[in-house]
A = this chain, B = another copy of it.
Amino acid sequence: MKKIGLAEGGGGSATNKFIKELFISRLGNDASEKMPDAAHVETDGRTAFTTDGFVVRPEFFPGGNIGKLAVCGTVNDLAVSGAKAEYLSLGVIIPEGYEAERLEKIVDAIAETAKRAGVKIVCGDTKVVEKGAVDGLFINTAGIGRVVNDWTVFENIKDGDAVILTSDMARHGMSVLLARGELGFEGNIESDCAPLNKMLEALHEYDVHFCRDATRGGVAAVLNEIADGAKKGFLIHEADLPLRQDVGNLCEILGFDPLSVANEGLAVILVSASDASHVIEKLKNFEEGRNACVVGFVNGAGRVILETAVGGRRVVDMPAGELLPRIC
Protein backbone atom coordinates (compact mmCIF):
# COMPACT_ATOMS: atom_id res chain seq x y z
CA MET A 1 0.00 0.00 0.00
CA LYS A 2 1.38 3.39 -1.02
CA LYS A 3 2.46 5.62 1.84
CA ILE A 4 3.17 9.33 1.86
CA GLY A 5 6.77 10.38 2.46
CA LEU A 6 8.55 13.57 3.47
CA ALA A 7 9.40 14.29 -0.18
CA GLU A 8 5.70 14.88 -0.83
CA GLY A 9 5.94 17.88 1.51
CA GLY A 10 9.28 19.25 0.36
CA GLY A 11 8.06 21.78 -2.17
CA GLY A 12 9.81 20.16 -5.12
CA SER A 13 8.69 17.95 -7.98
CA ALA A 14 7.39 15.15 -5.71
CA THR A 15 5.15 17.69 -3.96
CA ASN A 16 3.76 19.01 -7.23
CA LYS A 17 2.99 15.50 -8.47
CA PHE A 18 1.41 14.52 -5.14
CA ILE A 19 -0.81 17.61 -5.00
CA LYS A 20 -1.86 17.24 -8.60
CA GLU A 21 -2.68 13.54 -8.38
CA LEU A 22 -4.17 13.33 -4.94
CA PHE A 23 -5.85 16.71 -4.47
CA ILE A 24 -6.40 18.66 -7.68
CA SER A 25 -7.74 15.71 -9.66
CA ARG A 26 -10.34 15.13 -6.94
CA LEU A 27 -11.23 18.70 -6.01
CA GLY A 28 -11.28 19.37 -9.69
CA ASN A 29 -11.90 23.00 -10.43
CA ASP A 30 -9.67 22.44 -13.39
CA ALA A 31 -7.67 19.23 -13.12
CA SER A 32 -5.09 20.45 -15.61
CA GLU A 33 -4.16 23.40 -13.40
CA LYS A 34 -1.90 23.68 -10.41
CA MET A 35 -3.79 24.90 -7.38
CA PRO A 36 -2.47 28.46 -7.02
CA ASP A 37 -0.91 29.81 -3.83
CA ALA A 38 -3.49 32.57 -3.92
CA ALA A 39 -6.75 32.23 -5.81
CA HIS A 40 -8.38 35.30 -7.30
CA VAL A 41 -12.19 35.23 -6.97
CA GLU A 42 -15.05 37.68 -7.39
CA THR A 43 -16.57 39.24 -4.27
CA ASP A 44 -18.89 42.15 -3.89
CA GLY A 45 -19.61 44.26 -0.85
CA ARG A 46 -19.58 42.66 2.59
CA THR A 47 -17.74 39.37 2.81
CA ALA A 48 -17.78 36.82 5.62
CA PHE A 49 -14.44 35.19 6.48
CA THR A 50 -13.91 32.30 8.86
CA THR A 51 -11.47 29.51 9.74
CA ASP A 52 -11.60 26.22 11.61
CA GLY A 53 -9.10 23.50 12.49
CA PHE A 54 -10.01 19.81 12.64
CA VAL A 55 -8.22 17.28 14.84
CA VAL A 56 -11.02 14.73 15.39
CA ARG A 57 -10.12 11.17 16.44
CA PRO A 58 -10.88 8.71 15.04
CA GLU A 59 -10.64 10.30 11.60
CA PHE A 60 -13.51 8.11 10.36
CA PHE A 61 -16.77 7.78 12.30
CA PRO A 62 -20.34 6.77 11.39
CA GLY A 63 -21.82 9.55 9.29
CA GLY A 64 -18.58 11.17 8.24
CA ASN A 65 -14.85 11.65 8.49
CA ILE A 66 -12.42 14.48 9.18
CA GLY A 67 -12.66 15.65 5.56
CA LYS A 68 -16.44 15.91 5.46
CA LEU A 69 -16.32 17.61 8.87
CA ALA A 70 -13.75 20.14 7.66
CA VAL A 71 -16.06 21.30 4.88
CA CYS A 72 -19.24 21.29 6.98
CA GLY A 73 -17.66 23.18 9.88
CA THR A 74 -16.53 26.12 7.81
CA VAL A 75 -19.53 26.20 5.50
CA ASN A 76 -21.79 26.23 8.57
CA ASP A 77 -19.80 29.00 10.29
CA LEU A 78 -20.35 31.17 7.21
CA ALA A 79 -24.01 30.21 6.89
CA VAL A 80 -24.99 30.85 10.52
CA SER A 81 -23.35 34.28 10.34
CA GLY A 82 -25.87 35.16 7.63
CA ALA A 83 -23.61 34.69 4.62
CA LYS A 84 -23.78 32.62 1.45
CA ALA A 85 -20.76 30.29 1.58
CA GLU A 86 -18.79 30.48 -1.67
CA TYR A 87 -15.08 29.58 -1.51
CA LEU A 88 -12.96 27.42 0.78
CA SER A 89 -9.25 26.99 1.36
CA LEU A 90 -7.84 23.64 2.42
CA GLY A 91 -4.75 23.14 4.59
CA VAL A 92 -3.65 19.60 5.41
CA ILE A 93 -0.92 18.37 7.76
CA ILE A 94 0.00 14.75 7.07
CA PRO A 95 2.27 12.44 9.06
CA GLU A 96 5.02 10.71 7.11
CA GLY A 97 3.96 7.15 6.32
CA TYR A 98 0.23 7.98 6.10
CA GLU A 99 -1.60 5.63 3.75
CA ALA A 100 -2.32 7.29 0.43
CA GLU A 101 -5.57 5.34 0.04
CA ARG A 102 -6.88 6.66 3.35
CA LEU A 103 -6.02 10.21 2.37
CA GLU A 104 -7.75 9.70 -0.97
CA LYS A 105 -10.96 8.70 0.83
CA ILE A 106 -10.78 11.84 2.94
CA VAL A 107 -10.14 14.08 -0.05
CA ASP A 108 -13.04 12.36 -1.86
CA ALA A 109 -15.27 13.22 1.10
CA ILE A 110 -14.07 16.83 0.95
CA ALA A 111 -14.88 17.00 -2.75
CA GLU A 112 -18.29 15.39 -2.34
CA THR A 113 -19.31 17.60 0.59
CA ALA A 114 -18.11 20.75 -1.15
CA LYS A 115 -20.19 19.78 -4.18
CA ARG A 116 -23.25 19.13 -2.01
CA ALA A 117 -22.78 22.50 -0.29
CA GLY A 118 -22.19 24.29 -3.60
CA VAL A 119 -18.81 25.72 -2.58
CA LYS A 120 -15.48 25.63 -4.42
CA ILE A 121 -12.13 24.76 -2.91
CA VAL A 122 -9.88 27.31 -4.56
CA CYS A 123 -6.55 27.24 -2.71
CA GLY A 124 -4.65 24.86 -0.50
CA ASP A 125 -1.51 23.90 1.32
CA THR A 126 -0.02 20.56 2.40
CA LYS A 127 2.70 19.83 4.91
CA VAL A 128 4.20 16.42 5.64
CA VAL A 129 5.80 16.00 9.08
CA GLU A 130 8.04 13.19 10.34
CA LYS A 131 6.54 10.02 11.70
CA GLY A 132 5.70 10.47 15.37
CA ALA A 133 5.37 14.25 15.19
CA VAL A 134 1.59 14.05 14.93
CA ASP A 135 -0.92 11.26 15.59
CA GLY A 136 -2.85 11.54 12.34
CA LEU A 137 -4.27 14.03 9.90
CA PHE A 138 -4.99 17.65 10.82
CA ILE A 139 -7.09 19.76 8.48
CA ASN A 140 -7.76 23.48 8.41
CA THR A 141 -10.37 25.07 6.21
CA ALA A 142 -11.02 28.77 5.87
CA GLY A 143 -13.99 30.11 3.96
CA ILE A 144 -15.36 33.25 2.44
CA GLY A 145 -18.84 34.16 1.29
CA ARG A 146 -21.20 36.99 0.55
CA VAL A 147 -23.02 38.49 3.54
CA VAL A 148 -26.80 38.49 2.99
CA ASN A 149 -27.83 39.43 6.53
CA ASP A 150 -25.84 39.80 9.71
CA TRP A 151 -27.13 37.11 12.08
CA THR A 152 -24.37 37.67 14.65
CA VAL A 153 -25.61 40.89 16.27
CA PHE A 154 -26.60 40.34 19.89
CA GLU A 155 -28.48 43.67 19.94
CA ASN A 156 -31.01 42.33 17.43
CA ILE A 157 -32.28 39.74 19.92
CA LYS A 158 -35.63 40.62 21.50
CA ASP A 159 -37.64 39.33 24.43
CA GLY A 160 -40.16 36.83 23.17
CA ASP A 161 -38.02 35.63 20.24
CA ALA A 162 -38.54 31.93 19.60
CA VAL A 163 -35.58 29.57 20.03
CA ILE A 164 -35.42 27.01 17.23
CA LEU A 165 -33.14 23.99 17.07
CA THR A 166 -32.82 22.82 13.49
CA SER A 167 -32.14 19.19 14.43
CA ASP A 168 -32.00 16.67 17.28
CA MET A 169 -29.10 16.99 19.68
CA ALA A 170 -25.85 15.25 20.57
CA ARG A 171 -25.45 12.88 17.64
CA HIS A 172 -21.99 14.02 16.58
CA GLY A 173 -20.43 13.77 20.04
CA MET A 174 -21.95 10.38 20.76
CA SER A 175 -21.04 9.04 17.31
CA VAL A 176 -17.37 9.95 17.72
CA LEU A 177 -17.30 8.62 21.26
CA LEU A 178 -18.74 5.27 20.13
CA ALA A 179 -16.33 5.13 17.20
CA ARG A 180 -13.40 5.30 19.62
CA GLY A 181 -14.37 1.81 20.74
CA GLU A 182 -13.33 2.46 24.33
CA LEU A 183 -16.74 2.05 25.94
CA GLY A 184 -16.88 -1.72 26.00
CA PHE A 185 -20.05 -1.74 23.92
CA GLU A 186 -21.03 -0.82 20.40
CA GLY A 187 -23.79 1.25 18.98
CA ASN A 188 -24.94 2.73 15.75
CA ILE A 189 -25.25 6.46 16.09
CA GLU A 190 -24.45 8.45 12.98
CA SER A 191 -22.99 11.91 13.30
CA ASP A 192 -25.33 14.72 12.24
CA CYS A 193 -22.38 16.24 10.33
CA ALA A 194 -23.93 18.09 7.35
CA PRO A 195 -23.61 21.34 5.44
CA LEU A 196 -26.52 23.53 6.56
CA ASN A 197 -25.92 26.37 4.14
CA LYS A 198 -28.66 25.72 1.61
CA MET A 199 -31.24 25.29 4.35
CA LEU A 200 -30.17 28.43 6.19
CA GLU A 201 -30.03 30.47 2.97
CA ALA A 202 -33.73 29.72 2.58
CA LEU A 203 -34.41 31.67 5.79
CA HIS A 204 -33.21 35.08 4.66
CA GLU A 205 -36.75 36.15 3.83
CA TYR A 206 -37.78 35.74 7.49
CA ASP A 207 -37.18 37.86 10.56
CA VAL A 208 -34.19 35.89 11.88
CA HIS A 209 -32.51 37.80 14.72
CA PHE A 210 -29.56 35.55 15.47
CA CYS A 211 -28.09 32.22 14.44
CA ARG A 212 -25.21 30.03 15.58
CA ASP A 213 -24.30 26.37 15.16
CA ALA A 214 -23.99 24.30 18.33
CA THR A 215 -20.63 22.53 17.95
CA ARG A 216 -18.17 22.18 20.87
CA GLY A 217 -20.06 22.70 24.13
CA GLY A 218 -23.37 21.95 22.41
CA VAL A 219 -26.62 23.88 22.68
CA ALA A 220 -25.79 24.81 26.28
CA ALA A 221 -22.65 26.69 25.20
CA VAL A 222 -24.46 28.59 22.44
CA LEU A 223 -27.36 29.65 24.67
CA ASN A 224 -25.00 30.77 27.42
CA GLU A 225 -22.81 32.72 24.99
CA ILE A 226 -25.90 34.48 23.68
CA ALA A 227 -27.23 35.12 27.22
CA ASP A 228 -23.86 36.58 28.14
CA GLY A 229 -23.40 38.64 25.00
CA ALA A 230 -26.97 39.88 24.63
CA LYS A 231 -27.72 40.20 28.36
CA LYS A 232 -30.80 38.10 27.78
CA GLY A 233 -32.20 34.97 29.37
CA PHE A 234 -33.86 31.87 27.97
CA LEU A 235 -36.69 29.66 29.09
CA ILE A 236 -36.27 26.27 27.43
CA HIS A 237 -38.80 23.43 27.69
CA GLU A 238 -37.08 20.10 28.22
CA ALA A 239 -40.04 18.20 26.78
CA ASP A 240 -39.63 20.04 23.47
CA LEU A 241 -35.90 19.38 23.07
CA PRO A 242 -35.37 17.11 20.05
CA LEU A 243 -33.33 14.10 21.10
CA ARG A 244 -33.26 10.63 19.62
CA GLN A 245 -34.05 8.03 22.25
CA ASP A 246 -30.91 5.95 21.68
CA VAL A 247 -28.75 9.08 21.82
CA GLY A 248 -30.48 10.21 25.00
CA ASN A 249 -30.05 6.78 26.57
CA LEU A 250 -26.34 6.72 25.74
CA CYS A 251 -25.88 10.21 27.21
CA GLU A 252 -27.65 9.10 30.37
CA ILE A 253 -25.57 5.94 30.75
CA LEU A 254 -22.36 7.92 30.33
CA GLY A 255 -23.41 10.87 32.43
CA PHE A 256 -23.45 13.48 29.65
CA ASP A 257 -26.04 16.23 29.44
CA PRO A 258 -27.13 16.12 25.76
CA LEU A 259 -27.42 19.90 25.89
CA SER A 260 -23.62 20.06 26.30
CA VAL A 261 -22.65 17.49 23.67
CA ALA A 262 -21.23 18.61 20.31
CA ASN A 263 -23.30 18.70 17.12
CA GLU A 264 -22.09 19.29 13.57
CA GLY A 265 -25.42 19.75 11.82
CA LEU A 266 -27.50 21.73 14.31
CA ALA A 267 -28.10 25.47 14.31
CA VAL A 268 -29.75 27.50 17.05
CA ILE A 269 -31.97 30.15 15.47
CA LEU A 270 -33.62 33.07 17.25
CA VAL A 271 -36.55 34.40 15.27
CA SER A 272 -39.43 36.76 15.96
CA ALA A 273 -42.30 34.75 17.48
CA SER A 274 -44.59 35.67 14.60
CA ASP A 275 -42.23 34.11 12.05
CA ALA A 276 -41.39 30.98 14.04
CA SER A 277 -43.95 28.66 12.47
CA HIS A 278 -43.03 29.80 8.95
CA VAL A 279 -39.36 29.14 9.67
CA ILE A 280 -40.12 25.68 11.07
CA GLU A 281 -42.18 24.87 8.00
CA LYS A 282 -39.36 25.97 5.71
CA LEU A 283 -36.72 24.04 7.69
CA LYS A 284 -38.77 20.85 7.48
CA ASN A 285 -38.49 20.99 3.68
CA PHE A 286 -34.83 20.07 4.10
CA GLU A 287 -33.48 16.69 5.15
CA GLU A 288 -31.20 18.41 7.70
CA GLY A 289 -34.17 20.26 9.21
CA ARG A 290 -36.81 17.54 9.41
CA ASN A 291 -36.64 17.49 13.23
CA ALA A 292 -36.60 21.28 13.63
CA CYS A 293 -38.73 22.65 16.44
CA VAL A 294 -39.27 25.55 18.80
CA VAL A 295 -37.77 24.70 22.19
CA GLY A 296 -38.30 27.91 24.12
CA PHE A 297 -38.19 31.69 24.16
CA VAL A 298 -35.97 34.63 24.96
CA ASN A 299 -37.01 35.70 28.39
CA GLY A 300 -35.67 38.88 30.00
CA ALA A 301 -32.17 39.17 31.37
CA GLY A 302 -29.96 36.60 32.96
CA ARG A 303 -29.74 32.86 32.81
CA VAL A 304 -30.56 29.90 30.66
CA ILE A 305 -33.44 28.19 32.50
CA LEU A 306 -34.65 24.70 31.66
CA GLU A 307 -38.20 23.83 32.59
CA THR A 308 -38.09 20.09 33.12
CA ALA A 309 -40.72 17.63 31.96
CA VAL A 310 -42.19 17.44 35.46
CA GLY A 311 -42.41 21.23 35.80
CA GLY A 312 -39.27 21.92 37.84
CA ARG A 313 -36.69 24.47 36.78
CA ARG A 314 -32.91 24.30 36.64
CA VAL A 315 -30.18 26.59 35.38
CA VAL A 316 -28.25 25.36 32.33
CA ASP A 317 -24.69 26.56 32.85
CA MET A 318 -21.93 27.10 30.37
CA PRO A 319 -20.05 23.78 30.08
CA ALA A 320 -16.89 24.38 32.08
CA GLY A 321 -14.12 22.23 30.71
CA GLU A 322 -13.19 19.64 28.17
CA LEU A 323 -16.10 17.20 28.00
CA LEU A 324 -14.97 15.24 24.98
CA PRO A 325 -11.55 16.04 23.56
CA ARG A 326 -10.84 15.79 19.81
CA ILE A 327 -14.51 15.88 18.83
CA CYS A 328 -13.93 18.12 15.80
Residues of A within 8 A of B (CB): 5-16, 34, 36-55, 77-78, 80-81, 83, 87, 89-93, 122-130, 132-135, 138, 140, 142-144, 147, 150, 152, 212, 215-217, 221, 224-225, 229, 260, 262, 318-323, 325-326
Selected contact of A6 from candidates B46, B150, B318, B321, CB within 8 Å: B321
Interface contact A13-B318, CB-CB below 8 Å: yes
Report the copy number of this chain in the oligomer: 2
25 contacts between A and B (CB under 8 A): A6-B321, A7-B322, A9-B325, A12-B322, A13-B319, A36-B152, A37-B50, A37-B152, A39-B49, A40-B49, A40-B147, A43-B46, A49-B89, A50-B89, A50-B123, A51-B123, A53-B127, A54-B127, A55-B93, A128-B322, A128-B325, A130-B325, A133-B135, A134-B134, A138-B138
Task: State the Cβ distance, A43 to closest chain B Cβ, in Å.
Answer: 4
Interface contact B140-A37, CB-CB below 8 Å: no
Interface contact A38-B140, CB-CB below 8 Å: no
Considering the complex, give the chain B residue whose CB is closest to the CB of A42.
B46
Selected contact of A91 from candidates B14, B51, B129, B147, CB within 8 Å: B51
Assembly CA distance A80 to B150 (angstroms): 32
Considering the complex, give the chain B residue whose CB is closest to the CB of A73.
B125
